[in-house]
Amino acid sequence: MRTATRITRIICEQQVNFVDVMTSDNNNLQISFVHSRYRNEDVAICVLVDVSARVKMEESLQEMAAAAEQASQSKSMFPGDGQPRAAHAAVRHYRQP
């Protein structure tokens, strides 16, 4: 399907004023538009923005957040590692009569 035909179809079918689409070459576009009239014809004024870099950065941040959460959960499985003095004091107190 030609790009112009696809964009026209997307704009005509949408009720909101913007839509995110993926192109055939895997780029992410955000299409913002407003319906209007020009010389007694229905028209749409459009702005197309390539947001591929933003989408990749968001995906990377989500992956890093998931990795940090997993690391935090793994760390919490070993409660003694965070407070070695408290563990040592507890053992010393246990040994003394």
What pTM was estimated for this model as a whole?
0.52
Predicted local distance difference test score (pLDDT) of residue 55: 92
Predicted local distance difference test score (pLDDT) of residue 85: 58
Q: Give tens-digit pLDDT for 27-81.
A: 999 988 888 889 999 888 889 999 999 999 999 999 999 999 988 888 777 655 5
pLDDT beyond 90 at 83? no
More confident residue, 71 or 4: 71
Contacts of 75 (CB under 8 A, 6+ apart): 81, 82
DSSP for 1-39, written as a single string: --HHHHHHHHHHH-SSSEEEEE-TTS-EEEEEEEEEEET
